[in-house]
Amino acid sequence: MKKYLFALLFVTANLLAHDTIKTVIFDFGGVVATVDREKITGFIRDSFHLNPEQLQSVLKAWKEVLARGADEHAFWTRFAANRHLMLPDAWFDELNRVKTFVEIPETMQIVQALQKQGYQTVMLSNVQGYQSNAVKAFGYSHYFNPVFLSYEMGVEKPHPDAYKIVLQRLGVSPEAVLFIDNTPENVEAARKLGIESILFTQPGKLREDLRARGILL
């Protein structure tokens, strides 16, 4: 009898949570889309014949260049010249190809299923200026509306202001939101503000976590 009552209370609590949540906020990188980092590092390594130490050094320098919004083309041209190499004309086209974001289809199926059930699906992503166009190029406004990018907001997760800005602009309370992110620090920060959150590992687990909250897809 006690087990039955406990199960009933558990189901009831989940159904109440299901009724309360109206908006589901998704992170972008690693949740909605991803890049093949091994393909990127392999391309750079093979292009310049780098050992592991040299590879890590140039990747770090490249990241700093991108963060500053400096000229990526000039960076790689100069790096090649320092190694007495001439980059082929198509080299930059190939670089852009290997570093392109790739959609995670199973996650997008979950997004569409949530929309069909009447949930508002939103994106909140930490991106640098150079990444913002790549994210927008996906044309996600149909699936995520609105889209909040840290580059435009002026603050990144896990700073509390990132979440507060989103809540304010959406005009919703923390209790009405479910947040999904693949970074533990971002999830914990949201929870501290009273936002129900899920740490994303893979789409199948996300479906289970949603089901546990009474959201059946």
- Assigned domain for 1 exists: no
23 confidence band (pLDDT: 50, 70, 90): very high
Nearest to 125 by CA among 109, 138, 115: 138
Share above pLDDT 70 across residues of the chain, in percent, rounded to a whole number? 91
Under 8 Å between Cβ of 61 and 44: no
pLDDT at 133: 73
**Same domain assignment for residues 79 and 171:** no
For 109-127, the pLDDT digits (tens) are 999 999 999 999 999 999 8
> Domain check: are 203 and 132 in the same one?
yes
**For the whole model, what pTM was predicted?**
0.78
Domain ends where: 48, 82, 98?
98
pLDDT band of residue 101 (cuts 50, 70, 90) is: confident
Range of the domain at 92: 37-98
Q: Domain check: are 50 and 116 in the same one?
A: no
CATH number, domain with residue 169: 3.40.50.1000
Q: Using the 3D structure, point to which of 71, 98, 125 is the last residue of a domain.
A: 98
Whether residues 135 and 195 fall in one domain: yes
Q: What is the pLDDT of residue 1?
A: 53
Mean pLDDT value of segment 188-207: 98
Structure tokens at 59: 């990747």
Q: Percent of the chain beyond pLDDT 90?
A: 71
Flag whether 13 is in a domain: no
Domain boundary among 51, 83, 98: 98
Whether residue 172 has pLDDT greater than 60? yes
Beta carbons of 178 and 111 less than 8 angstroms apart: no
Cα–Cα distances in angstroms (integers) from residue 203 to residues 30, 44, 64, in the given order:
11, 30, 32
Q: With 90 as the cut, is the pLDDT of residue 140 above it?
A: no
Q: Which is it for the CA torsion 187, 190, 191, 195, positive or negative?
A: negative
63 and 111, same domain (yes or no): no
Same-domain check for residues 83 and 125: no
pLDDT of 107 reads: 97
**Domain match, 121 and 25 both:** yes
Residues 23 and 71 in one domain: no
| pLDDT for position 135 | 79
pLDDT above 80: residue 7: no
Q: 134-138, 186-190, 203-207: lowest mean pLDDT where? A: 134-138
For CA atoms 58, 63, 68, 72, give the dihedral sign. Answer: positive
- Does 139 share its domain with 172? yes
Q: Is residue 144 included in any domain, yes or no?
A: yes
CA 14/CA 32 separation, integer angstroms: 25
Residues 179 and 132 grouped into a single domain: yes
Would you say residue 11 lies in a domain? no
As for how many domains the chain has, the answer is 2
Same domain, 50 and 30: no
- Whether the pLDDT of residue 96 is over 50: the answer is yes
The answer on 121 and 31 residing in a single domain is yes
pLDDT value for 89: 85
Which range has the worst mean pLDDT, 4-13, 22-31, 51-60, 103-112?
4-13
Question: What pLDDT is stored for residue 19 in this prediction?
Answer: 61
